[in-house]
């Protein structure tokens, strides 16, 4: 009897208060049958990585619209390495300039979804990469 579910942690790091996108994503993932742990605003990279480990999630989803991704992305990646938890993948959304995306993917962000992405595409992506 295998009842495995896809588990995703949705976090808003730093002081960024734009939480609409994060909530939209949380709800959409739930409606596609996933279990979403929503940790709310003002999470530090340490909080996020510790929570992701305790919750044993497949994905950390970072929603950042403030520009702070430039220091948060590398920090979260580094902390996952430190905890030997690189098997937890990172996906992200919000305001991330297009020209930066290849760079972030190279250092370990699995996928980035900008404004206007359909939630169906995001759900598809997650489902495909868990299989």
Partner 1 sequence: MKTNELISKLKQSDVRAVARLLTLIENEDKNVETVLKNIWHLTGKSYIIGITGPPGAGKSTIVDLLAKMALENNFKTGILAVDPTSPFSGGAVLGDRLRMNSAQKAGIFIRSVASRGHLGGLASTTRFMINGLEMLGNDITLVETVGAGQGDVEIVKVADTTIVVEVPGLGDEVQAQKAGILEIGDILVVNKGDRPGSDRLAKELKMMLSLGEHKKWTPPIITTTATKDLGIDELWNQIMNHREHLENEEINQTRLGKIKYDLENQLSQHLYTRKLIQIGENEIENMAERIFNRDIDPFTAIEEIIKQ
For residue 100, state whether it binds ligand B12 (rule: CB under 6 A): no
Which position has the token pair 């390495």? Answer: 81
Q: Does 102 bind ligand B12 (CB under 6 A)?
A: no
- Which range of residues in 25-33, 73-81, 100-108, 114-122 is near partner 1 by CB under 8 A? 25-33
CA angle 117, 23, 120 (to 5 degrees): 35
CA nearest 63: which of 111, 127, 19?
A: 19
CB 64 within 8 A of CB 25: no
Pairing between β-strand 59-64 and β-strand 35-38 as defined by DSSP bridges: unpaired
- The listed partner (ligand B12, partner 1, none) that binds 27, CB under 5 to 8 Å by sort, is partner 1
Candidates 43-51, 68-76, 90-98, 105-113; binding stretch for partner 1 (CB under 8 A):
43-51
> What percent of the residues of the chain are helix, what percent strand, and what percent coil, each to the nearest 5?
45, 20, 35
Q: Does 119 bind partner 1 (CB under 8 A)?
A: no
Q: How far is the CB of 67 from partner 1 (least distance, A)?
A: 24
Binding site for partner 1 (CB under 8 A): 1-5, 7, 26-27, 29-40, 47, 50-51, 53-56, 83-85
């Amino acid at each position: 009897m295998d009842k495995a579910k896809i588990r995703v942690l949705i976090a808003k790091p730093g002081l960024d208060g734009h939480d609409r996108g994060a909530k939209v994503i949380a709800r959409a993932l739930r409606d596609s049958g996933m279990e979403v742990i929503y940790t709310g605003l003002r999470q530090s990279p340490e909080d996020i990585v510790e929570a992701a480990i305790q919750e044993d999630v497949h994905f950390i989803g970072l929603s950042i619209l403030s520009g702070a991704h430039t220091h948060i992305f590398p920090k979260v990646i580094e902390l996952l390495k430190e905890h030997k938890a690189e098997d937890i993948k990172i996906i992200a959304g919000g305001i991330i300039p297009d020209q930066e995306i290849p760079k972030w993917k190279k250092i370990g962000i699995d996928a980035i979804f900008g404004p206007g992405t359909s939630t169906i595409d995001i759900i598809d992506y997650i489902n495909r990469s868990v299989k």
